[in-house]
C-alpha cells in the first residue's frame, strides 16, 4: 500500500527509494481525503464530486507490489518468511494502532442521523478499539457504528487488512512465480476485476472491500490480487525512460483521474467500470513507470516529494475519524459544501499536520524501537 516508503524506511535496508513515487503516493493520499470529504454531500457514488478517489487504493496496492519487489525480491537467500513479515508489521502496524485510538477517542463526538453512537457502551467501544488495533474485522453484532464497515472506528483500515494478505501471498507464493506465470496471474486477476467493475459488481465500480459482505470481499480480493501482482510484475520488467518533470506531470494526471465524475449513470454501469479498467490496467502502470524513471533536478520538487511521501501513510491512517466528525457536522446542520468549506479545509490541513506530528513523534520512534528490539540484522 501507500505504506511501503522507499525500500522500507527505518528497517536498515540500504537501497535508495524512488522519491517521485513517494510524492505520487502523497498526492493520492491527499485526494483520498478530498474524496471522503465529498461523501458528505452525495446520496451514492452516482452523484459524488471527486468521484473516483477510491481508485487511489488500487494505485497504492500497485505501488506496494513494485516497491516490495524492489526491496525484497533479491533477499530471499538470506531472509526467512518470518523475518519479512516481522519487518512489514513493524512498518505498517504502529499507524494501524494510532488510527484506531484516534477513532475511539473521537467516537462519541461523531453522532448524526446516519449513525447513532449514543447507545454504544464504553465496554463495546473498548472491544471495538482492541479489535481494530489487532486488525480484526467487525462482524454483524460487533460493528459499533451500524453501517457495516469492517473497521467502524477507522474505515480505511480495511485496505491494510488486504495489504497484509498481499504481503503474506507475496512471501509464500507470488514471489516464487516466474515472470511468465506472474503475467498469467496479473492478466487473470485483471480480467476478473474488470468484469466485476463492468458487470458482476452491484454498482458499476470497484469501490469495494470495506465490509465482510460477499461481494465486498470478492471485489476487495480482486483489487489486491491484481494491483499488487501487477506492481511486482512492473518491477521485474521495468526499464527506465527519461521524462522531464515526471512528478508534476504524473501528479497532475493522478489527481485528475481520481477526481473524474461518475460515467454512464445508473443506466450504463459498464461505462464507469470501463473507465476504471483503463485506469488500473493502463494508466496507473504507466504513471508508476514514469515516476520510477524520473529524476529530480531541483530542490523544490525534491522537498515536495519527500514531504508528501513521509506523510502519505500517516495521513491515510489518521484522517478518517475527522471525516466522520465533518460528516456529522454537515448532516446535523444541513450544510452545503460552500457553507462547510472552511471546515473542509480545516479537515485537510489539520489531517496533514496531525499526520506529520504522528510520523515524527510516534511512528518513527516506535519503528526505531521495534527494529532495534525485534528485527534481525542479518538480512
Residue 86 pLDDT exceeds 90: yes
pLDDT digit string, tens, across residues 163-219:
999 999 999 999 999 999 999 999 999 999 999 999 998 889 999 999 999 999 999
C-alpha cell at 250: 504524473
pLDDT digit string, tens, across residues 113-128:
778 888 899 999 999 9
pLDDT digit string, tens, across residues 249-280:
999 999 999 999 999 888 899 999 999 999 99
When pLDDT is averaged across residues 342-349 and rounded to a whole number, the result is: 98
When pLDDT is averaged across residues 316-333 and rounded to a whole number, the result is: 95
Residue 8 — pLDDT band, cuts 50, 70, 90?
very low
Whether residue 104 contacts residue 129, with contact meaning beta carbons closer than 8 Å, is answered with yes
How far is Cα 25 from Cα 60, in angstroms, rounded to an integer?
A: 7
Mean pLDDT of the chain, nearest integer: 92
Residue 6 pLDDT exceeds 50: no
pLDDT digit string, tens, across residues 12-32:
345 667 999 999 999 999 999
Identify the weakest region by mean pLDDT among 143-152, 162-171, 221-230, 368-377. Answer: 368-377
Q: What is the pTM of this model?
A: 0.94
> What is the per-residue pLDDT for 14?
53
How far is Cα 373 from Cα 353, in angstroms, rounded to an integer?
A: 29
When pLDDT is averaged across residues 326-343 and rounded to a whole number, the result is: 95
Residue 43 — pLDDT band, cuts 50, 70, 90?
confident
Whether residue 57 contacts residue 220, with contact meaning beta carbons closer than 8 Å, is answered with no
Query: Cell 506492481 maps to which residue?
Result: 231
> What is the per-residue pLDDT for 82?
94
> What is the per-residue pLDDT for 342?
97
Amino acid at each position: 500500500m501507500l505504506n511501503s516508503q522507499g525500500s522500507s524506511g527505518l528497517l536498515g535496508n540500504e537501497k535508495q527509494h524512488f522519491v517521485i513515487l513517494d510524492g505520487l503516493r502523497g498526492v493520492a493520499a491527499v485526494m483520498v481525503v478530498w474524496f471522503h470529504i465529498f461523501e458528505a454531500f452525495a446520496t451514492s457514488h452516482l452523484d459524488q464530486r471527486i468521484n473516483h478517489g477510491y481508485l487511489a487504493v488500487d494505485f497504492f496496492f500497485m505501488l506496494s507490489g513494485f516497491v516490495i519487489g524492489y526491496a525484497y525480491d533479491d533477499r530471499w537467500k538470506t531472509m526467512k518468511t518470518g523475518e519479512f513479515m516481522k519487518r512489514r508489521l513493524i512498518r505498517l502496524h504502529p499507524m494501524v494502532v494510532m488510527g484506531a485510538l484516534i477513532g475511539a477517542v473521537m467516537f462519541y463526538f461523531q453522532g448524526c442521523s446516519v449513525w447513532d453512537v449514543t447507545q454504544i457502551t464504553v465496554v463495546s467501544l473498548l472491544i471495538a478499539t482492541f479489535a481494530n488495533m489487532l486488525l480484526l474485522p467487525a462482524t454483524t453484532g460487533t460493528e459499533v457504528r451500524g453501517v457495516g464497515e469492517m473497521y467502524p472506528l477507522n474505515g480505511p483500515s480495511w485496505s491494510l487488512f488486504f495489504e497484509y494478505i498481499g504481503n503474506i501471498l507475496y512471501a509464500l507464493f507470488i514471489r516464487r512465480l516466474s515472470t511468465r506465470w506472474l503475467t498469467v496471474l496479473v492478466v487473470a486477476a485483471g480480467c476478473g476485476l474488470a468484469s466485476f467493475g463492468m458487470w458482476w459488481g452491484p454498482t458499476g465500480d470497484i469501490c469495494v472491500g470495506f465490509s465482510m459482505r460477499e461481494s465486498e470481499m470478492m471485489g476487495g480480493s480482486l483489487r489486491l490480487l491484481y494491483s499488487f501482482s501487477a506492481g511486482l510484475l512492473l518491477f521485474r520488467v521495468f526499464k527506465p525512460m527519461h521524462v522531464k518533470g515526471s512528478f508534476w506531470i504524473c501528479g497532475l494526471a493522478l489527481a485528475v483521474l481520481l477526481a473524474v465524475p461518475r460515467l454512464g449513470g445508473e443506466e450504463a454501469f459498464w461505462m464507469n467500470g470501463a473507465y476504471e479498467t483503463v485506469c488500473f490496467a493502463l494508466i496507473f502502470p504507466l504513471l508508476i513507470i514514469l515516476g520510477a524513471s524520473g529524476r529530480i533536478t531541483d530542490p523544490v520538487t525534491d522537498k515536495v516529494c519527500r514531504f508528501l511521501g513521509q506523510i502519505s501513510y500517516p495521513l491515510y491512517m489518521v484522517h478518517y475519524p475527522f471525516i466522520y466528525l465533518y460528516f456529522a457536522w454537515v448532516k446535523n446542520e444541513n450544510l452545503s459544501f460552500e457553507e462547510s468549506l472552511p471546515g473542509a479545509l480545516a479537515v485537510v490541513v489539520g489531517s496533514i499536520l496531525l499526520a506529520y506530528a504522528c510520523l515524527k513523534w510516534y511512528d518513527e520512534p516506535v519503528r526505531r524501537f521495534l527494529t532495534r528490539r525485534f528485527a534481525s540484522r542479518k538480512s
